[in-house]
Structure 1
């Protein structure tokens, strides 16, 4: 990923927050004759100094062959983003741009074939996304009929991606004058929707 120095995000906690808050990611696996791309929710685990990404795919997905072969892969997490109109800036002679945050996590895929580990992954994944729905009582697979979960996990393949390279970019007008940042943030707030307001808050922070 092309990252000019002004836009490089290096704070590990901030990077992990972006990944966890934008967990529906794109997984790109590299084959000898091309790539396979799939969209899926991913879990991010910090294991001391190491980082691992966990997920699962349907066994019918062509990316399964690449997971089983230990192919190189990159998980792409996209954070808040928004179009910036040059009319919003205080300074003249500006051009349109897009402000955004993105994280690329790369490594080699590793298949997780043990049924109990697959069940644990699915339980962890649902727990992570059920938690924000409180006070609703979280859904768990124990609510399913006996044996149904065991049958269903036969149709999926769990995997891990131990992260060997982590790159993060936060392009939030750091190269602009304070008055231009403030004016563009005000323009975003004027649009009113959550995505634009989220970018405005980051720019102002």
Structure 2
């Protein structure tokens, strides 16, 4: 987490929207000796306005063993990001940096039973298959009877109700408006950086 307070993001709605837009996240945990990290698609639900995250990992993953033993998890979502050249500030003696959006969700996890794991997998398929339209939607009903149930022990599914839910919105807020304008103009010329330029425009002072 970046230590500069101007970049701290705590608005729950903003964080939920950001995590949903970038659902492939990094799940971190520890067994007391090593830190383990695993990539996974993470679904973010809301219960009484509070975020609840659901994800699954391979049963053979070391991170899974740590979670099953009671370790907390830290889930990190990386949003839009771009390198910022010091040439773009219009100021002397600057250095390069990185503007980015992120979300961190930390807390204890709950192991989901087979029914909960099945719901998670169905929900994941429904969400991501919808983005492939007009391709016909895949569902596990297309599988050979019994095959899904035979494969289910290969994963472990979890939910996490964060005790800490915050992120970083680092968009050159620590620079004067003239410097930010220079960065926005420069980033807008690069296809991979247009999204960050757009975010920067929204916080113009």
TM-score by length of 1: 0.93
Query: Which residue number corresponds to residue 115 of structure 1?
Result: 114
Distance 1:108 1:14 in 2: 22
Deviation at 1:99, TM superposition (A): 0.4
Describe the SS at the equivalent of 1:173.
Answer: coil
On the 8 A contact 2:59/2:156 being kept in 1, the answer is yes
Equivalent residue for 2:196?
A: 199
Provide the rounded CA distance (Å) in 2 between the counterparts of 1:16 and 1:146.
Answer: 36
Task: State the match for 2:33 in structure 1.
Answer: 33
Q: What is the CA distance between 1:67 and its match in structure 2?
A: 1.8
Displacement of 1:137 in angstroms is: 2.7
> How high is the TM-score relative to the length of structure 2?
0.93
| 1:88 and 1:187 in contact (8 A); partners too | yes
Pick which of 72-81 and 177-186 moved more: 177-186
- Aligned partner of 2:172 in structure 1 is 173
Deviation at 1:104, TM superposition (A): 0.9
Q: Are 1:70 and 1:111, in contact at CA under 8 Å, matched by a contact in 2?
A: no
Query: Given that residues 3 and 169 in structure 1 are in contact (C-alpha distance below 8 angstroms), is that contact kept between their aligned partners in structure 2?
Result: no
Cα displacement (A) at 1:146:
1.2
Q: Helix, strand or coil for the counterpart of 1:110?
A: strand
> Which 10-residue stretch deviates more, 166-175 or 83-92?
83-92
CA RMSD of aligned residues (A): 1.4
Q: Distance in 2 between matches of 1:202 and 1:161?
A: 29
Q: How far apart in 2 are the matches of 1:198 and 1:122?
A: 30
Aligned equivalent of 1:138: 137
Q: Does residue 51 of structure 1 match 2:48?
A: no
Greater shift after overlay, 133-142 or 144-153? 133-142
Range with greater deviation from structure 2 (127-136 or 158-167): 127-136
Equivalent residue for 1:155? 154
Shift of 1:136: 2.5
Aligned residues: 202
8 Å CA contact 2:44–2:54 kept in 1: the answer is yes
Q: Secondary structure at the match of 1:183?
A: helix
Instruction: Give unpaired runs (5+ residues) of structure 1.
Output: none
